[in-house]
């Protein structure tokens, strides 16, 4: 039975993926800041009392993640996948670099990059013992430097580009231990972040992401994948 940590599991893509993974028979350690406020997540916990483990945790707090990893170790004794999904887009999108509040850039980096670093550091000792360890960092087409052709979403784009570099470097560091680390884009999804105009429902994105989690292995280590787990759509 595979055990998967999903951060930001209370809404959007994280919640939809949690539901699909549970349906597929996986055990999900669902990390979110306020599980008590997500009635959907609580309903899911009732439906899957064995499969869903809710842990209250903010990815910007290292001590909470260390505690979450200790609890996971105690309850499950192992971990196979880290799905680094929690993320923010703190800006309007049309700001000029001359005027944008630097606090927005710090905020995006804090959650989208350092949050992922903290999750990896806290759970790595467990994942390193898995037979098929995988780390998926949820990136975005907006994090692609080569595809950048405007100046929208400075804070978010810069942070996702940094997450991509983190992914590539971590992939090199952990390769010798058999860990597969990738950046993966969920597509443009109708969530609070993606907005109503987006192409995909959270469920459509989650169904493909769940298959990608199943399918990826060392041959894809260090790659920037689409939601199906394929190379080609996204360039660094
Ligand atoms: N939607 C898209 O079209 C799209 C496209 C490309 C990439 N992505 C990426 O996909 C991921 C999920 O996006 P989404 O569309 O599902 O966004 P969303 O609906 O805004 O959900 C974001 C999730 O991240 C959580 N989160 C934010 N900061 C956190 C923190 N400090 N600690 C713990 N959890 C935190 C939120 O929890 P709270 O409820 O507590 O705020 C929420 O569960 C993000 O990394 C995003 O950048 C999305």
Ligand 1 mean position, distance from CA 55 (Å): 16
Q: Which atom of ligand 1 is nearest to the CA of 141?
A: 6
Query: What's the average model confidence in pLDDT over 156-166?
Result: 98
- Averaged confidence pLDDT in the chain: 97
Band the pLDDT of 191: cuts 50, 70, 90. very high
Q: Output the DSSP codes for 92-106.
A: -S---TTT--HHHHH
What pLDDT is stored for residue 162 in this prediction? 98
Q: Which atom of ligand 1 is nearest to the CA of 34?
A: 40
Residue positions counted in the chain: 236
What pLDDT is stored for residue 195 in this prediction? 98
Is 109 noted as a catalytic residue in this protein? no
What pLDDT is stored for residue 101 in this prediction? 98
What pLDDT is stored for residue 177 in this prediction? 94
Q: Give the whole-angstrom CA distance, residue 86 versus residue 88.
A: 7
Residue 58, ligand 1, Cβ within 6 A: yes
pTM of the model: 0.98
Query: How many CA atoms does the CB half-sphere of 182 hold within 13 Å?
Result: 29
What pLDDT is stored for residue 80 in this prediction? 98
Instruction: Detail the DSSP E strand segments found in 92-228.
Output: 134-138, 180-184, 224-225
β-bridge mates for residue 81, sequence order = 4, 134
Structure tokens at 201: 């429902």
Band the pLDDT of 224: cuts 50, 70, 90. very high
Q: Give the whole-angstrom CA distance, residue 152 versus residue 139.
A: 16
Ligand 1 mean position, distance from CA 89 (Å): 8
Domains of the chain: 3-225 (3.40.50.720)
What pLDDT is stored for residue 215 in this prediction? 98
Backbone angles phi, psi at 101, to 5 degrees: -65, 120
């Amino acid at each position: 039975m595979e055990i998967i940590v999903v951060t930001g599991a209370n809404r959007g893509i994280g919640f939809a993926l949690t539901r699909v993974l549970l349906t597929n028979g996986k055990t999900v350690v669902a990390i979110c800041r306020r599980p008590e406020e997500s009635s959907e997540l609580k309903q899911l916990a009732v439906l899957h009392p064995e499969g869903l483990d809710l842990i209250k945790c903010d990815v910007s707090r290292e001590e909470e993640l260390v505690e979450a990893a200790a609890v996971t170790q105690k309850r499950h004794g192992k971990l196979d996948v880290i799905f680094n999904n929690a993320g923010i887009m703190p800006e309007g999108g049309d700001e000029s670099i001359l005027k944008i509040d630097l606090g927005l850039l710090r905020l995006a980096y804090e959650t989208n990059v350092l949050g992922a670093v903290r999750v990896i550091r806290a759970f790595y000792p467990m994942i390193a013992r898995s037979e098929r360890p995988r780390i998926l960092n949820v990136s975005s087409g907006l994090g692609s430097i080569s595809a950048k052709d405007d100046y929208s979403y400075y804070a978010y784009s810069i942070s996702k580009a940094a997450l991509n570099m983190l992914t590539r470097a971590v992939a090199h560091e952990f390769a010798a231990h058999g860990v597969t680390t990738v950046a993966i884009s969920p597509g443009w999804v109708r969530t609070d972040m993606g907005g109503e105009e987006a192409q995909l429902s959270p469920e459509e994105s989650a169904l493909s992401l769940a298959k990608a989690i199943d399918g990826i292995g060392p041959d894809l280590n260090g790659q920037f994948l689409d939601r199906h787990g394929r190379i080609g759509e996204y360039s660094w």
